[in-house]
Structure 1
Amino acid sequence: MEESIQKTELKKSCINCGAELKYKPGTTNVSCEYCGHQETISVDPNGFEELELYPYLSEMGAQRHSEEISMLHCKNCGANQHVEENYKSLHCVYCSMPLVLEDQYKEEWILPGAVLPFQVDQQKSYQIFKRWVQRLWFAPNNLKKAALDPQFTKGLYLPYWTFDAQLSATYRGQRGEYYYETKRVRNSQGKMVTQRVRKTRWYPASGQVSGFVDDTLVEASKQRKGRVPSKIARWNLQLLQPFNSSFLRGFVTEKYTIPLKQGHLAAKGEAEQIAKRWCRQDIGGDTQRISHMNMQLSEETFKHILLPVYVSSYRYNGKEYNFFVNGENGSISGTRPYSFWKIFFTILFSLVIIGIIILVSKS
């Protein structure tokens, strides 16, 4: 049993005081929050390993880059979470409902090939939340109290698939070139006026395009509709580091629930859009039509990667709201409730002011 313990399950203690070491955002260090001791995370100098796609899709060789991981399932919202820290108590990062540590179970997952470590620490994310909430108009007072509670702001690594491929496509279509004619038309007042009308001359076009499609990013988890807003789902993938479980210490990691095959279908859809864009650029002119396109992908590889976000959740009048901060660049987005009484009294006050102005103007 001792030999079966996997890397993501190992806990590393401080050599000075015995406390658990946690990843320090913006660095390549783990540190002790009690005595300040730090240790450097060993990063693989060989970089990432791109895995061949089709052996995994056909379930060949999947065990070579997989491992067993402990998971906690939220019975309220369905999120599956792995924790790299021995929490005495833990709440779901999405809905803040308590998780039962005794309910941990084991699952296999494809080992992440890369991780984008947190660049923003928890304190800074708290300040970003604080500024955002303070700027909200018509927010209930208890929203500000809840959203500003650091206890419910958690760092979370989100799973994504990335796909690389050589793309080639042949196409047939038409190149459109604009020209203008002057016509006499009757306007809405019944008068004859001169109007310049744009028209298009179409010419046949065909050809071939090819190139490398790098790091098509596809989300790998979606238990609930529209969780993480697209507004903040932008990361600088140049900051990716070869995976080391030490980057996860002190944070929650969500396991992918969208399988590799489904992620690959989404990536093929993205590749088709890229191919169409390349074909339009190749056709040229002012506008383009594509009547037929045959796309081929080859040398396809993939990675399972983890990307950072801070999550805070809040319940108001029985409804759940989430707030998100990008853990790499600090961008923020969230949903929020409105205070009926604040809006009501603002409208009432405005009507009183308008009434006073009308009375004064008539006197």
Structure 2
Amino acid sequence: MATSKISCDHCGAPLKYSSGEIIVTCPYCGYTVVIDVGKPFTLEHSLLPSNFNEKKAIDSVKSWMKHSFIAPGDLARRAKFTDVQLQFLPFWIIPITANSTFRGLFERTGPRIEKKGSIKKNYNWIVFGQRKTEFPTREFDIPLEGRMPYDFRKIPEGAKVFNSEIGEHEAVDIAKQQIKNDHRFLAKQDADRIIDLETEFKVGRAYYLHAPVWIMRYKYKGKNYQVFLDGCEGEVIKGDLPTNIGFF
């Protein structure tokens, strides 16, 4: 991935960013800029602090291993951690109300029946800001109540901060499509075949958030596995276990 440089308009420090990134935060002063238009970032930029160092993060994952009923009994003892990285990942938080009305057919028992209904929900919808990186966003219950204004001094030494490759408007569009897909899934609990589904959205003020995630790789009996750990609360977001069942 190609890396480019610009200077921070606030403190003059060099800013490095990778191809595709459009929102860059200065690691020296915390100033954030939208690089494709060269304008200051005007939305709220929040940070969730990291409350776990490397040892505490590994201990949390080992505890998760011990309490997993599908993991081998010796996993916590024999797992060898080969790569442990704290990363501050970019997310868009979209406060949004979605109101869907649908019409469909109920066909599973007896004569075909037309079904109509509505689904209305309020969300703080989460959109991951990177395109090229896989992340289990839907499994991440971000503790939003713990957020604070972005402060570069709260980033631990050695942690890597990733910039967003997605802007606000695209994040809102992604949220709308994902919510509409979810509402279609919910509607199919009442109707086997959806004929029509219309969704109206009321979008609040989006904000940009960096959240700490420990990305940890370990080896067990010659095979490699990966775990995502919430660096704020120490909960496993998603992790591989050496079992035929697959993801836990």
For the aligned pair, the TM-score class normalised by the smaller chain equals: 0.5 to 0.7
In structure 2, list runs of 5 or more residues that go unmatched.
Answer: 1-6, 36-40, 66-71, 243-248
Which structure has more relative contact order (CA 8 Å, sep 6+)? It is 2
Matched, 1:258 2:166: yes
- 1:202 alignment counterpart: 112
Q: Could you state the TM-score of these two structures normalised by the residue count of structure 2? A: 0.62
User: CA offsets, 1:149-204, max 9 Å, x none?
Assistant: xxx5332111111222232333322345x6xxxxxxxxxxxxxxxxxxxx432222
2:61 matches 1:116: no
Are the equivalent residues in 1 in contact too, given 2:17–2:24 (CA < 8 A)?
yes
Match of 2:183 in 1: 275
**CA positional deviation for 1:2:** 11
CA contact (8 A) 2:8 2:26 kept: no
In 2, Cα distance between the equivalents of 1:279 and 1:2? 49
Question: How large is the Cα RMSD of the aligned pairs?
Answer: 4.5
Deviation at 1:295, TM superposition (A): 1.7
Alignment of 1:177-326 (within 5 A): 199-207=109-117, 209=118, 211-224=120-133, 226=134, 228-229=135-136, 233-245=139-151, 246-250=153-157, 251-277=159-185, 279=187, 284=190, 287-312=191-216, 323-326=227-230
Q: What residue in structure 2 maps to residue 14 of structure 1?
A: none
| 2:98–2:200 Cα contact (<8 Å) kept | yes
What secondary structure does 2:172 align onto? helix
Q: 1:229 to 1:296 in 2, by over 3 A?
A: closer
Residue 268 of structure 1: CA displacement?
A: 1.6
Q: 1:220: how far off?
A: 0.8
Superposed, 1:1-363 pairs within 5 Å as 4-5=10-11, 70-71=15-16, 73=18, 84=27, 108=34, 110=41, 113-128=45-60, 135-136=74-75, 144=80, 147=82, 153-176=84-107, 199-207=109-117, 209=118, 211-224=120-133, 226=134, 228-229=135-136, 233-245=139-151, 246-250=153-157, 251-277=159-185, 279=187, 284=190, 287-312=191-216, 323-327=227-231, 328-331=233-236, 333=239
Query: What TM-score do you get using the length of structure 1 for normalisation?
Result: 0.45
CA distance in 1, matches of 2:167, 2:8: 30
Distance change >3 Å, CA 122–CA 292, structure 1 → 2: same
Report the 3-state secondary structure (helix = DSSP H, G, I; strand = E; otherwise coil) of the residue aligned with 2:213. Answer: strand
Of the two, which has the highest radius of gyration?
1
Q: 1:277 to 1:213 in 2, by over 3 A?
A: farther
Question: 1:124 deviation in Å?
Answer: 0.6
Superposed CA deviations along residues 5-39 of structure 1, whole A, max 9, x for unmatched, are: 29xx8xxxxxxxxxxxxxxxxxxxxxxxxxxxxxx
The code of the aligned residue for 1:211 comes to: K
2:245 equivalent in structure 1: none
Q: CA deviation at 1:335?
A: 8.6
Aligned residues of 1:171 and 1:206 also touching (Cα < 8 A): yes
Question: How much identity, in percent, do the aligned residues show?
Answer: 14
Q: Classify the secondary structure of the residue corresponding to 2:52.
A: coil
* Partner residue in 1 for 2:246: none
Shift of 1:271: 1.7
CA distance in 1, matches of 2:226, 2:103: 47
Change (3 A) 1:171 1:321: closer
- Residue type of the alignment partner of 2:11: I
Closer/same/farther in 2, CA of residues 201 and 134 from structure 1, 3 Å limit = closer
> Following TM superposition, by how much is the alpha carbon of 1:108 offset from its aligned partner in structure 2, in angstroms?
3.4
* CA distance 1:324–1:175, change in 2 (3 Å): closer
In the TM superposition, what is the alpha-carbon distance from 1:298 to its structure 2 partner?
2.8
Superposition deviation, residue 214 in structure 1? 1.2
Partner deviation per Cα, 1:308-352 (whole Å, 9 max, x = no partner): 21134689xxxx97553321233162599xxxxxxxxxxxxxxxx
